[in-house]
Amino acid sequence: MITSKKSRTINVILFFVLCIVGAFVLYPLFFILNNSFKGKFFISKDPFALPTSETFSGLTNYVNGLIKTGLLSAVGWSFFITILSVVLIVLFTAMTAYYITRVKTKVTQGLYYMFVFSMIVPFQMVMFTMSSLADTFHLKNPVGMCILYLGFGAGQAVFMFAGFIKSVPIDIEEAAMIDGCTPLQNYFKVVFPVLKPTAITVAILEAMWIWNDFLLPYLVIGISTKYKTIPVVVQMLVGSNGNKDMGALMAMLVLSIIPIIIFYLSCQKYIIEGVVAGAVKG
């Protein structure tokens, strides 16, 4: 009986703690949404106040933001770059992790540790070299961006896929080979379907990173081309002298985060499932 009461008390405490943490996490989103409906002068004057009959601007900020930034075009390029990059990352890193895990040599071990090491290298250490190489190999376009994202996203993806593949019994692959499957058929018909939980998790994490990324598109594509992504066009609302249309900025931030929030909420159950699956062995 005492243990039961103690357990209930702990659950109540954890509930309140999580509520407080949730409030801290959600408040910035509410702050942006709240100010997107206020006039830009009132945002600077009283940013934490709710809109009133005097400060409420309706959809003016959204209309002004769309006109100034060309957000609709940026949404299209962001979708293209994000989807193609995620497909490339999942496809190629899954095959790489499979080969590294199943072929035990010093070379594959070295490759694995190189992928793991790439996860801890700050982007700022390589961004100028990367920008120079992107210019040399003509990667300053949407397809080139996808290739760069494949390189930068490979470390985490290979690490997660390799952890899951170590838990997959090799017996099912041997049985498929006995039945006449070629190595490629074995991988795509037997192994890859088993990787579904981790593949979905990798896709979600990489999509959230690529969709919200500002620095890489800014360095590679820049602001003077038609291929600008959402974070880049939102940044254009900040003037060179620090002048900014805060109302339009808040409105564009709301529009930019809606797709990724919907995507995350619809797929969040797969994240824990995939991470746990990849942590079974190795």
Band (pLDDT 50/70/90 cuts) for residue 225 is confident
Kindly state whether residues 69 and 12 are assigned to the same domain.
no
Angle between the N-to-C axes of helices 71-102 and 196-212, in degrees from 0 to 180, rounded to the nearest 10: 140
Asked if 256 and 231 count as a contact pair (C-beta separation under 8 A), the reply is: yes
Kindly state whether residues 18 and 101 are assigned to the same domain.
no
DSSP β-bridge partners for residue 238: 244
- Give the pLDDT confidence score for residue 239 in this predicted structure: 64
- Kindly state the percentage of the chain with pLDDT values over 70: 93
Kindly state whether residues 120 and 255 are assigned to the same domain.
yes
- Residues 6 or more apart whose CB falls under 8 angstroms from that of 15 comprise none
- Give the pLDDT confidence score for residue 275 in this predicted structure: 59
Kindly state whether residues 264 and 188 are assigned to the same domain.
yes
**Which range of residues forms the domain containing residue 1?**
1-25
Query: What CATH number should be reported for the domain holding residue 99?
Result: 1.10.3720.10
Tokens of 256: 């930019």
Q: What is the pLDDT of residues 249-273, one digit of tens each?
A: 889 989 888 888 888 888 777 766 6
> Can you spell out the DSSP letters for 88-110?
HHHHHHHHHHHHHHHS-SHHHHH
CA distance 250 to 34: 9
- Give the pLDDT confidence score for residue 3 in this predicted structure: 63
In a domain, 53, yes or no: no
In a domain, 33, yes or no: no
Asked if 40 and 252 count as a contact pair (C-beta separation under 8 A), the reply is: no
Residue 231: count other Cβ atoms within 10 Å of its Cβ.
19
Kindly state whether residues 143 and 203 are assigned to the same domain.
yes
- Give the pLDDT confidence score for residue 272 in this predicted structure: 65
In a domain, 157, yes or no: yes
Q: Specify whether the backbone of 151 is left (phi greater than 0), alpha (psi in -120 to 50) or beta.
A: alpha
- Give the pLDDT confidence score for residue 282 in this predicted structure: 43
Q: What is the pLDDT of residues 65-110, one digit of tens each?
A: 888 888 888 999 999 999 999 999 999 999 999 999 988 899 999 9
Band (pLDDT 50/70/90 cuts) for residue 54 is confident
Asked if 40 and 20 count as a contact pair (C-beta separation under 8 A), the reply is: no
As to burial, measured by CB atoms within 10 angstroms (0-12 exposed, 13-18 middle, 19+ buried), residue 258 is: exposed
CA distance 46 to 40: 10
Tally of domains in the chain: 2
Mean pLDDT for all residues in the chain:
85
2 pLDDT higher than 70: no
Q: When comparing pLDDT for 83 and 248, which is higher?
A: 83
pTM of the model: 0.85
Kindly state whether residues 181 and 90 are assigned to the same domain.
yes
